[in-house]
Chain A
Amino acid sequence: MRGVAVFVLRLAKRLLTPRNRSWGEAAQREAEEIEHPGEALRFAFGCLMWAIREAAADRISHLFQQGDDPMSFADAIRGPRGVALLCATGAVALGLVYMVMGNAPARYLMMNIGAFAFGLIALAILTLADGRGHLPGRLLAVGLGAVLLATSLLGVRVDGITRWLALGPLTIQPSMMILPLMVVLFARFRDGLSLIGIAVAALALALQPDRGMAGALTAGIAVLAFTRPNRSVLAALACAAAGFAATLVQPDPSPALPFVDQILYSSFSLHPLAGVAVVLGSALLTVPVLAGRQAKAPELAVFGAVWAALIAAAALGNYPTPLVGYGGSAVIGYLISLMVFPRRSALAAASTEAQPQAGASSDGDRALYVGAARAQV
């Protein structure tokens, strides 16, 4: 039993941040001195709970940190990424309203809600990895391009179109999920390696074929070519345009699916409020670009162009209406592409830096003072 206690305390020590590890060491030494093994084990599990709380708090605080400069949750919400998350939430919620009004199957609603939760987790992981410099963005772009190509060659074929992958009971559209992220990553790096990813993606979309996604890729790269032209960007634009042209000359016989395609029009015939929900939800998708305009980052303009093009495609043809229509791939794709949004505007950063540090005392500390008095160390 004592061995278990020591093991638990070692685990607790490992969970603690390096600056607090000496406290874990102290707790371990303390447990080793406890005479009764049962007491030692109880002591060890108490310490483990403490270490888990500390580790969780540390991980969460990292999500709201940029370098060594801490920020509050309020700053995060005020920042461009916070605005974008609110817009995504609003769009998904309005889509749910539309689907409820249209008596959509409950699993449609659950799919979008589940995708939203999954997308948030994926975004958190990506931003954490990106913030710590552990995200190989260029290689990721190439890898995602390969996934798109594999989908085109090996995916589920319906009516002569190969856009989907079957993952058990789920059928996903990988292009909707990963192409927006690929384009914003290319906007960040604009180099030869990420160009390979874009070229492979353009080929994959031409093979599927998918005019909507190929058009969105071209729109995003075209905006980049206007704002940050270089040799890689112009080459990417040529690839994207060629891929888009290839989709235009091929037939695209996919029929409109209820709650997925053509809902920008059909929702109004359902009920005027359902139509307003769909249009408003779609409009929300491009609002984050306005919130992030202070950052002057090309990725944000590219983000806006890609999603505006996808909405336009949904209005013009039988292509999914992102976030407001049924489909988890777009929800996840939108959320993970928010990775490139800064967590706060330059203005918010300046105001945060100007604020003095909070005092050591607070109402919450009162409990500690009383604890100290009781212990009378």
Chain B
Amino acid sequence: MGRHGYELCREADIKSGTLYPLLMRLEGQGYLAADWQAAETPGRPPRHVYRLTAEGRRLAAENLVPDTARAALPEGRPA
């Protein structure tokens, strides 16, 4: 199960101009896999889907946002 770019922007509350360079670097360092996925709706073009690699999951686990930091985030915003 991967995520799309716009979805990530909303979930991480970051702008597209910040997201894509971040994705590019994570992909370049092997923490992220980016694949073209055919659209579920016929006639629509394929989209990029992003997944953490095993290495990326380990990295994410090592850098979990502490609860105090979560509390400081705006209400209703998934971290």
Contact with B along A34-64 (1 / 0, CB 8 A): 1000000011111111100110000000000
Interface size class of A (residues with CB under 8 A): 20 to 34
Q: Which residues of A contact B47 (CB under 8 A)?
A: 26, 29-30, 33
Q: Which residues of B contact A47 (CB under 8 A)?
A: 16-17, 20
Chain B: residues with Cβ within 8 Å of the partner, total of: 45
Q: Which residues of A contact B5 (CB under 8 A)?
A: 26-27, 30
Please state if A371 and B52 are interface contacts (CB–CB under 8 Å). no
Interface positions, chain B 4-40, Cβ under 8 Å from A, are 4-6, 8-9, 11-12, 14-26, 28-29, 31-32, 34, 36
Nearest B residue (CB) for A40? B6
Instruction: Give the distance to chain A from B1, nearest Cβ to Cβ, in Å.
Output: 9
A27 to B15, CA, bound (A): 12
A282 to B17, CA, bound (A): 48
Q: Known: A20-B24, A377-B8. Is A372-B59 also a contact (CB below 8 A)?
A: yes
Q: Which residues of A contact B45 (CB under 8 A)?
A: 29, 32
A34 to B9, CA, bound (A): 12
Q: Which residues of B contact A23 (CB under 8 A)?
A: 20, 23-24, 48
Nearest B residue (CB) for A44? B16
A377 to B59, CA, bound (A): 12
Contact with B along A254-266 (1 / 0, CB 8 A): 0000000000000
Q: Which residues of B contact A49 (CB under 8 A)?
A: 17
Interface positions, chain A 337-377, Cβ under 8 Å from B, are 360-361, 365, 368-377
Please state if B6 and A372 are interface contacts (CB–CB under 8 Å). no
Instruction: Give the distance to chain B from A11, nearest Cβ to Cβ, in Å.
Output: 14
Instruction: Give the distance to chain A from B19, nearest Cβ to Cβ, in Å.
Output: 8
Confirm or deny: B63 has a beta carbon within 8 angstroms of a beta carbon on chain A: yes
Please state if B31 and A372 are interface contacts (CB–CB under 8 Å). yes
**Which of B20, B47, B50 has the largest count of A CB atoms less than 10 A from its CB?**
B20
Q: Which residues of B contact A360 (CB under 8 A)?
A: 28-29
**Which of B3, B18, B36, B60 has the largest count of A CB atoms less than 10 A from its CB?**
B60
Closest 7 pairs (CB-CB, A-B): A46-B16, A26-B48, A46-B17, A373-B63, A50-B17, A49-B17, A30-B5
17 A–B contacts from the bound complex (CB under 8 Å):
A30-B4, A30-B48, A31-B6, A33-B6, A33-B47, A42-B15, A46-B16, A49-B17, A360-B28, A365-B29, A369-B63, A372-B31, A372-B63, A373-B59, A374-B12, A375-B8, A377-B3
